[in-house]
Amino acid sequence: MKHSLEERMDIGRRMYLHEITYKEAMEIYGLSESCAHKYMTDYKKAQGIPLANTVPKMKNPAVLKSLSSPDIDTYMAMSKEELINELIIAKANELRAKKGYEVKGAGANKEYIILNNKNTK
């Protein structure tokens, strides 16, 4: 390998801490994109940091929109009850998207938006 284990861990740490981006690491150290990604993954594994789950590919853009999440800092600041509520909301939005609609607003101001022109029955 071109870099020693310590160098790979340092490169992965710098990318993980956002000191450098993937592109900067690729330019500075002459890495490929997959190699840079692997260095950061190896760093996370060595430090016991959980790897991010991949978002399943779905054709419906509303489902993808509902699966996009705020920053991890937002979730870290939430209490257990708030996290559970966010999970329930995300699951409800996912199920609605599968049925072909989404809901805008809340309470008396709810608006149901049909995502496709097919009959739901």
pLDDT digits (tens, 9 = 90+) for 48-104: 888 775 444 544 454 444 445 567 778 788 888 888 988 898 888 888 777 777 777
Q: Determine the pLDDT at residue 72.
A: 77
DSSP reduced 3-state for 39: helix
Which DSSP helix (H) or strand (E) runs through 102? strand 101-104
Token output for 98 = 């599968």
Token output for 78 = 């939430």
* Alpha helices in 17-119, H assignment, sequence order: 22-29, 33-47, 61-67, 72-76, 80-99
User: At residue 40, does pLDDT exceed 70?
Assistant: yes
Q: How far apart are CA 82 and CA 7, in angstroms?
A: 40
Token output for 97 = 């998207």
Token output for 22 = 């993937």
Q: Are strands 111-114 and 101-104 parallel, antiparallel or unpaired?
A: antiparallel
pLDDT average, residue stretch 100-121: 72
